[in-house]
Amino acid sequence: MVNDDLILGLDIGTTKVCAVVGERNEEGRLNLLGIGSAPTQAGMRKGVVINIESTMQSVQQAIDKAEMMSGREVSEVYTGIAGAHIEGINSRGVVPVTGRGREIDQQDVDRVIDAAKAIVIPMDREVLHVLPREFIVDDQGGVRDPLDMIGIRLEAEVHIVTCSVTSAQNLLKCINRAGYRVQDIVLESLAASGVVLSPDEKELGVLLIDLGGGTTDVLVFLDGAPYHTGVVPLGGEQVTSDLSIMLKTPREAAERLKKESGCCFSSMVDSLEEVIIPGVGSWPSASIPRQKICGIIQPRMEEIFGLVREQLSRKDYLKHLTGGIVITGGGSLLPGAQELAMNIFNLPARIGLPIVEGAPNEEFLSPQAATAVGLAAYGLAEKEEYNRGRGMRGKEGSAGRSKGGGFFKWIKEFF
């Protein structure tokens, strides 16, 4: 029997699909029940669906495993979206306060958000999220929630995230064909930030780097609000490809070498340590120094971090990152990733693990599961918001989790 109170977070990545089943416990917090994953095979490339059937099968396998572990059956899915087509834009809107006695009400907030998101975007793109950074009431800035304040003019600074319409359509089609209903689509780095970043880090200014298989997602928080989203079209797959080419070994063996013996910070590797490379065909296995593997991995990781640094330098955000850097995603498990990030950015760095209390085992607390767990937590927050009568779907309120509801309604009607 399907339980509509259950929440399923679905992270469809370039190399694997991860599904997490959770529910609301008596304290109103997320209780994680099941987790499952499946390789995406050839269904995804750099975060974008390229094979509907293959991706659909991977989605079905991952959800089946999560349902089996939880002993529950789900019907609604909160899924993430990523890829090079994601773009972030900062905008501002201004409206006069029209409420009785010049008191700011929800209609004023909705109008100023609508004014802020009235930007010109190409026909093949649509608004994914409208995230308020701050409100300004009669030149008084730094206002988080302007409701019930007295003022004449209300301004809003927002961060708008846009995505490709066709990429979202294909993602929805895969999930629908697997037999599930998409409740919402969420930017993956935003979902992950909800469970790996603390409120204090967001206030101080923090950079989240989500090292995925095909892409690296970037999200900057300043003063508690998102200021920049970006994507680097490189990830763990490129590291595996480099090892495969340089060591003349199959990708499967290269992936295994990366996970078992890989390192991206040379000073952490013993110069005398040897690693066995399995033979190919009639060629015998060989032994090489582990330093050589590090010498292949480190330049690629330096390139990824360097491109992220270049993004932030152009916008002059680096000097505001008092909270440092948080690295999550499967790539963060590579030994030396934290140390290399500290060296390149000259900032403190840590590995981002999901911060959740209701996790039955360590599998839920891995950086690889951060996005899926974050999507489940996002789903819980949205259900709570809806149950309180505010109806987050399609509303751009001051809660900071608003989005273009018309877009998702249109896509669902399309299918």
Amino acid 409: pLDDT: 43
Among 206-210, 256-260, 283-287, which is the least confidently predicted range?
Answer: 283-287
Query: Which whole-number Å values give the CA distances from 327 to 203, 210, 367, 379, in the listed order?
Result: 18, 6, 8, 23
Mean pLDDT of 177-197: 93
Same-fold call for 87-164 versus 199-353:
no
Give the span between the Cα atoms of 175 and 52, in whole angstroms.
9
**Does the pLDDT value for residue 367 go beyond 60?**
yes
Residue found by looking up tokens 């190399």 in the block: 15
Return the H-helix or E-strand segment holding 60: helix 52-70
- Output the pLDDT for position 358: 64
Per-residue pLDDT at 398: 32
* Whole-number percent of the chain with pLDDT over 70: 91
Rounded Cα distance between 65 and 8, Å, is 12
Dihedral Cα 386, 391, 394, 396, nearest 10 deg: -110
User: pLDDT digits over 39-60, tens only?
Assistant: 987 788 888 888 899 999 999 9
Q: What is the pLDDT of residue 196?
A: 95
Task: Answer positive or negative: Cα dihedral of 379, 383, 384, 390.
Answer: positive
Q: What confidence score (pLDDT) does residue 95 get? A: 94
Q: Judge whether residue 414 has pLDDT over 50.
A: no
Q: What's the rounded mean pLDDT across residues 87-105?
A: 89
Q: What's the start-to-end Cα distance of the chain, in Å?
A: 25
Q: What is the pLDDT of residue 412?
A: 40
Confidence at 388, pLDDT banded by 50, 70, 90? low
Long-range contacts, 254-259 (Cβ 8 Å, 24+): 257/293, 258/297, 258/334, 259/333
| Per-residue pLDDT at 411 exceeds 90 | no
Most confident option among 100-104, 124-128, 345-349:
345-349
Tokens of 198: 């603390």
Predicted confidence at residue 210, as pLDDT, reads: 96
Per CATH, which fold does 199-353 belong to? Nucleotidyltransferase; domain 5 (3.30.420)
Radius of gyration for the alpha carbons in the chain, expressed in angstroms and rounded: 22
| 339-363 mean pLDDT | 88
What CATH architecture does domain 7-83+167-196+354-409 belong to? 2-Layer Sandwich (3.30)
> How many other C-beta atoms are found inside a 10 Å radius of the C-beta of residue 119?
12
pLDDT of residue 28: 76
Interval 113-124: pLDDT, tens: 999 988 888 899
pLDDT at 228: 94
Q: Is pLDDT above 80 for 394?
A: no
The greatest distance separating any two alpha carbons of the chain, rounded to the nearest whole angstrom, comes to: 85
User: Where are the chain's structural domains?
Assistant: 7-83+167-196+354-409, 87-164, 199-353
pLDDT averaged over every residue in the chain: 87
Report in angstroms the alpha-carbon separations of 56 from 47, 184, 397.
14, 18, 34
- Residue 241 CA to residue 298 CA, distance in Å, equals 13
Strand partners, 294: none
CATH says 87-164 is which class? alpha beta
